[in-house]
Amino acid sequence: MEENRNLLTVKGISKIYYKREVEIRAVDRADLDIRRGEWITLWGPSGSGKSTLLYLLGTLLQPDEGTYQFEDEMLAGTASLDYISTTNDKKLSAFRAEKIGFIFQDYNLLDDKTALENVMQPAKYLVNPKPESEVRQRAEALLKQVDMTDRMEHFPGELSGGQEQRVAIARAMMNKPSLLLADEPTGNLDSANHNMVLELMRELNREGVTVIVASHNPEVAEIADRVVKLKDGKIDEIASRI
Ligand SMILES: Nc1ncnc2c1ncn2[C@@H]1O[C@H](COP(=O)(O)OP(=O)(O)OP(=O)(O)O)[C@@H](O)[C@H]1O
Ligand SMILES: [Mg+2]
């Protein structure tokens, strides 16, 4: 049997909001095949639906229409919308914790936990949690990889933005996800930290992690294997450059 090259396939996926009875299609019937190991950059003007599409792909938002197929697991879609809405949060968060890593523009670290504890956090959501010592060891190794060994006991408030984002990258990798999603990951960073964060993400991509990034930065589009251009919630074009 031929191996499936696609990691994730969405068909006709939409997210619809209502404001004073006016329908806003934040994402409008998007079709997308995400191939294993590729880097996709989501591109488009403010309000075009980049973040919404990214959150749909990451199951942080539930689609109102369409189907969502991750590897062999049908998680959402019109045919199985009941499934995603009845799937308990614990099951969905376990799927997410195992398969998907997230990086956000504002880092989203837990303020009352140290860098090390933040990196260890995703391991708590696994169905079969690993021993604490093993989790700690991996977290320490990941913090070393992002050059944060000397800040492991620091709280987020004691770190610079670039350092916080490096901790967030380590956290995203905790459970060895196959998909890394990032929403403007360098949007708040100066150019030195921008370069460092992009380089770390490229390294993960070279190691085989599939990457999808929403960004306004042309450099992030240049790196991409494919640029998905959005306009008014629709996929306008899929190209190799902007
Ligand atoms: N919770 C919500 N309720 C109502 N409308 C929303 C909601 N979230 C997003 N929208 C609308 O959906 C559209 C797409 O928003 P989205 O945040 O996905 O855009 P974006 O491309 O990420 O923009 P930016 O580049 O500014 O981050 C916008 O018109 C926005 O106003
Ligand atoms: Mg956005």
CATH for 58: 3.40.50.300
> Would you say residue 222 lies in a domain?
yes
Range in 23-27, 123-127, 142-146 with the lowest mean pLDDT: 123-127
* pLDDT confidence bin for 4, thresholds 50/70/90: low
pLDDT greater than 70 at residue 209:
yes
Say what the pLDDT of residue 7 is: 92
> Would you say residue 21 lies in a domain?
yes
Helix (H/G/I), strand (E/B), else coil: 84: helix
> Would you say residue 1 lies in a domain?
no
Contact status, residue 168 vs residue 182, Cβ threshold 8 Å: no
> Would you say residue 165 lies in a domain?
yes
Contact status, residue 71 vs residue 115, Cβ threshold 8 Å: no
Query: Nearest C-alpha to atom 16 of ligand 1 is from which residue?
Result: 49
Separation between Cα atoms, residue 75 and residue 85, nearest integer Å = 10
Which of 18, 24, 183, 236 for a ligand 1 pocket mutation test, highest count of atoms within 8 Å of Cβ? Answer: 24
Domain region containing 137: 6-239
> Would you say residue 205 lies in a domain?
yes
Helix (H/G/I), strand (E/B), else coil: 165: helix
> Would you say residue 78 lies in a domain?
yes
> Would you say residue 111 lies in a domain?
yes
pLDDT greater than 70 at residue 160:
yes
Task: Identify which of 131, 130, 137, 134 has the alpha carbon closest to the alpha carbon of residue 116.
Answer: 137
Q: Which ligand is nearest to the CA of 53?
A: 1
Q: Provide the number of structural domains found in the chain.
A: 1
> Would you say residue 129 lies in a domain?
yes
